[in-house]
A and B are shown apart, each in its own frame.
Chain A
Amino acid sequence: MTIPDTHVASRHNHPATTYRYDQFDHAFVRERVAEFREQVARRLSGALTEDEFRPFRLMNGLYLQLHAYMLRVAIPYGTLTADQMRRLAEIADRWDKGYGHFTTRQNLQYNWPKLIDTPDILEALADVEMHAIQTSGNCIRNVTADHFAGVAADEIEDPRPTAEFLRQWSSAHPEFSFLPRKFKIAITGATLDRAAILAHDIGLRLVKNDTGDIGYCVTVGGGLGRSPFIGKVICEYVPRASLLAYLEAIMRVYNRYGRRDNKYKARIKILVHEKGIETIRAAVEKEFAAMDQTAFLQDPQEFDRVAASFAPPPYETLPAKSLQLAKDRQEIPAFDHFVSVNVSPHKTAGYAIVTVSLKPISGIPGDATSHQMRVLADASERFGFGELRVSHEQNIILPHVKQDDLFALWQMLDAADLATANAGLVSDIISCPGLDYCSLATARSIPIAQAISQRFSDMARQRRIGKLGIKISGCINACGHHHIGAIGVLGLEKKGQESYQITLGGDPGFSASIGEILGPGVSADQVPDVIEHLVDFYLAERHETEAFIDTWRRLGHARFKDVLRREGEDGADI
């Protein structure tokens, strides 16, 4: 079916900066929708039992959660067009409850779809070249990427063409549709890791070798969850042409040796940990040498064709610094704060990257109403060549904004409650849905994020604190990335009550580290107090602009633990 949407712009507005489906992509997605429609009909008629149907619905991103079904829509490498964002808004209005939740894997989740409506929703997604395939199940999931890809000033190469190759390679891959466990790949082409690649089963970093050729540094065995590990380098440099063959070799080794007897030990990180990276490297290299690589060798012409899909938009030639921007910043302090916090350098003179925070003070991290989605779509067309990105930090990025237009954009965002100037600050909290929605959760996470956000609602105080990543998960599966938060919060059940374990020292970047537990769990009410004490101690002890993680590393974990012990002795009941 095709649903009429008066908001959808004509196709000529589709930016040339994102990949367009070819005939094969269209046919594949349409066939999957038709297949799922039939599977749903067979389930409703009783021809399929729940046990038979569950794998089919999971393969199409449909979960059963606490209150309703949940549909997880894939947003490949976090890139969206304005048309696609509008379609997400329309689906939210027509088949859900008027909002969506952007996730830490750059996807979008609807919390209230009905099973009987799901085939129509998938068809509506297919109309705009989207789907929900492989957003669940023991397969290669949506490939994630640096949300500043293609525009970051610190980039060696745009990682999206590679990510698109990986999407095509991994979609319905016959060997890797029933892996021991789910499998996540992330890629960056920058000198700063904004994609948390070391927390993924495979991390890819675009690098140059001694002769200036671009290839990939490949890490393997990273992951969070019950047993967190930082990925280890399995190969310092894989030439571009060999990447798919090399990844195929890794997947084959994992498929062969990964444990299937215990789901908690089935991820590749456990295999790497138990066997050792040297053993895994040797097995991968043996497979790589023995396999017929012909089918996986990259055709440079095909790579160029895909790369052309991500060509830069027609930027104007502009001075590096906008005089208009400087004037606007001087006149409007709130706008000046927005620019200083939410705007990042662009590789093209006169342009900027804008992070639109989905973390209003006391709001629900990652949630956007259908109205906000439409505003974002409109803003991207008016100011950013019709392209948007979703970050794993649950924010939206407008990657191509003229500096001259920043003030008008800010006004437009502000009118839709989308101009919170907190990107990267203490209230820009990553949070999973937790027990408010998720059937796996052991505690709520959103109310904790809201309480912390409220505690630090003074924006001037937030700016004084500076960059500080707080990440909250509602269970040990760690969808909220708590292990790699400078401050992490994990919700657990303790004696029939929600209890929160706090960790310090996590780092999602190239200097990745897993946070260390601060002490016994605390109640929900105590979490903001604990975090405030930690932040106050950091402010008292930091050296000038030193980040929280660096102060923690310099002083050591024990000093931070001491803070809470002393506060407890003073009667703070922590």
Chain B
Amino acid sequence: MLKHPQILLASNLKDGEVMFLGATGWERDYRLARVAHTAQEAKALEEIGQKDYAANEVVDVYLTDVALTATGAPAPLHYREKMRIKGPSVRLDLGKQASGA
């Protein structure tokens, strides 16, 4: 088991928006991210990320540690990724948070 579960983040090549690897592909909502609990699962996420990076779908692909909320949704542990899943803390009308993320 990993010390903390992980999810895979990236940026969409065409528009730069933050993406999360979900069950069937890249999602724009972090709550749909697929969660890795073991090193093997994390490696599997990374392999998909590398494949999609090579296929020019996404860039800047990396894993980040999360905790699971009561609803099972992943919540990043680091404040940098907390910012990325929402949007700028000084403009709540912008970014993913503007549409309820």
**Set of chain A residues within 8 Å of B83, measured between Cβ atoms:** 66, 435-436
The 4 closest A-B pairs by CB, nearest first: A69-B16, A436-B88, A68-B16, A114-B15
A64 and B59 in contact, given A115-B15, A436-B88, A436-B90 (Cβ under 8 angstroms): yes
Q: A66-B84, A68-B17, A116-B15 are in contact. Are A364 and B90 (CB under 8 A)?
A: yes
Besides A50-B56, A67-B84, A436-B90, 4 other CB < 8 A contacts? Answer: A64-B59, A67-B95, A68-B15, A435-B83
How many Å from the CB of B89 to the closest CB on chain A?
6
**Bound CA–CA A315/B77 (angstroms):** 60
Q: Is the CB of B78 within 8 A of A496?
A: yes
Q: Which residue of A lies closest to B89 (CB)?
A: A436
The yes or no answer to A498 lying at the interface (CB within 8 A) is: yes
Give Cα A43–Cα B78 distance, bound, in whole angstroms.
32
B47 CB–A CB distance under 8 Å: no
Q: List which A85-113 residues lie within 8 A (CB) of chain B.
A: 97, 111-113
Evaluate contact between A67 and B89: CB separation under 8 angstroms: no
A174 within 8 A of B: no
For A437, the closest partner residue in chain B by CB is B88
Q: Which stretch of A330-338, A443-451, A512-520, A528-536 is in the interface?
A: A443-451
Please name 11 pairs of A and B residues whose Cβ atoms are closer than 8 Å in the assembled complex, sorted by A. A44-B14, A44-B56, A64-B60, A66-B83, A68-B15, A68-B16, A69-B16, A111-B88, A112-B94, A114-B14, A436-B90
B89: which of A50, A97, A114, A447 is its contact (CB, 8 Å)?
A447
Contact with A along B68-81 (1 / 0, CB 8 A): 00000000011110
Closest to A442 in B: B80
**Cβ-defined partner of A46 (8 Å) among B14, B55, B87:** B55
A450 touches B90 (CB 8 A): yes
Which chain B residues lie closer than 8 Å to A115 at the CB level? 13-16
Set of chain B residues within 8 Å of A114, measured between Cβ atoms: 14-16
Q: Does B11 contact A (CB under 8 A)?
A: yes
A484 to B65, CA, bound (A): 37
Inter-chain contact A498/B79, CB cutoff 8 Å: yes
Q: Chain A: how many interface residues by the 8 Å CB criterion?
A: 29
Nearest CB of chain A from residue B95's CB, rounded to whole Å: 5
A497 CA to B80 CA, complexed, in Å: 10
- A414-437 toward B: CB 8 Å interface, digit per residue (1/0)? 000000000000000000000111
Q: With A and B bound together, what is the CA distance between A126 and B91 in angstroms?
A: 30
Q: Which residue of A lies closest to B58 (CB)?
A: A50
A497 to B16, CA, bound (A): 26
**Complex Cα–Cα for A167 and B78 (A):** 42
Flag whether B36 is at the interface (Cβ < 8 A). no
Question: Is the CB–CB distance between A447 and B11 below 8 Å?
Answer: no
CA distance A216 to B81 in the complex (A): 48
- B90 and A446 contacting across the interface, CB-CB below 8 Å: yes
Task: Determine if B8 is an interface residue (Cβ-Cβ < 8 Å).
Answer: no
B78, closest chain A residue (CB): A496
Residues of A within 8 A of B17 (CB): 67-68
Kindly state the separation between the CA atoms of A355 and B15 in the bound complex, as whole angstroms.
36
How far, in angstroms, from A173 to B53 measured CA to CA in the complex?
34
Chain B residues, CB < 8 A from A498: 79
Interface size on B, residues (CB 8 A): 25
Q: Which of B59, B60, B78 has the most CB of A within 10 A?
A: B59
Q: How far is the CA of A278 from the CA of B55 in the complex (A)?
A: 53
B45 within 8 A of A: no
Q: Is the CB of A447 within 8 A of B90?
A: yes
Pair B80/A44 contact, Cβ less than 8 Å:
no
Which listed residue, B18, B59, B79, touches A50 by the CB 8 Å rule?
B59
Name the residue in A50, A66, A111 with the highest tally of chain B Cβ atoms < 10 Å from its Cβ.
A66
CB of A556, distance to nearest CB on chain B (Å):
36
B89 touches A444 (CB 8 A): yes
CA distance A158 to B78 in the complex (A): 49
Which of B14, B18, B87, B88 is most buried by chain A, counting CB atoms within 10 A of its CB?
B88
Q: How far is the CA of A446 from the CA of B88 in the complex (A)?
A: 10
Q: How far is the CB of A256 from chain B (nearest CB, A)?
A: 34
- Complex Cα distance A498/B16, Å? 25
Which of chain B's residues have a CB closer than 8 A to the CB of A497? 79
Question: Which chain B residues border A49 with CB–CB below 8 Å?
Answer: 56
A114 to B13, CA, bound (A): 9
Whether A50 lies near B53 (C-beta < 8 A) is yes
CB-CB under 8 A from B87, the residues of chain A are 67
| Alpha-carbon separation in the docked complex, A20 to B73 (Å) | 56
- In the complex, what residue of chain A is closest to B17 when comparing beta carbons? A68
Which residues, 455 to 479 on A, are CB-close (under 8 Å) to B? none
**How far in angstroms is the closest Cβ of chain B from A48?**
9
Q: A437–B59 Cα gap in the complex (Å)? A: 17
Interface residues of B in 1-42 (CB under 8 A from A): 11, 13-18
CA A44 – CA B83 in complex, angstroms?
Answer: 27
- A36 CB → nearest B CB, Å: 15
CB distance from B13 to the nearest CB of A (A): 7
Closest to A48 in B: B56
In the complex, chain B residues whose CB is within 8 Å of the CB of A116: 14-15
Q: By the criterion CB–CB under 8 Å, are B94 and A97 in contact? A: yes
B80 touching A435 by the CB < 8 A rule?
A: yes
B contact residues around A50 at 8 Å (CB): 13, 53, 56, 59
Which A residues lie within 8 Å of B13 (CB)?
43-44, 50, 115
Chain B min CB distance to A561 (Å): 29
| B49 CB, nearest partner CB in chain A, Å | 13
Contact check, A64 vs B11: say whether CB atoms are below 8 A apart.
yes
A222 to B28, CA, bound (A): 43
Chain A minimum-CB-distance residue to B77: A496
Docked pose: A67 CA to B96 CA in angstroms: 9
Contact A43 B15 (CB under 8 A): no
Q: Report the separation of the CA atoms of residues A43 and B55 in the bound assembly, to the nearest whole angstrom.
A: 11
> Whole-angstrom distance from the CB of B83 to the nearest CB of chain A?
6
Q: Which residues of A contact B60 (CB under 8 A)?
A: 64
Beta-carbon nearest neighbor of A63 in chain B: B16
A415 → chain B closest CB, angstroms: 22
CB neighbours (8 Å) of A113 from chain B are 16
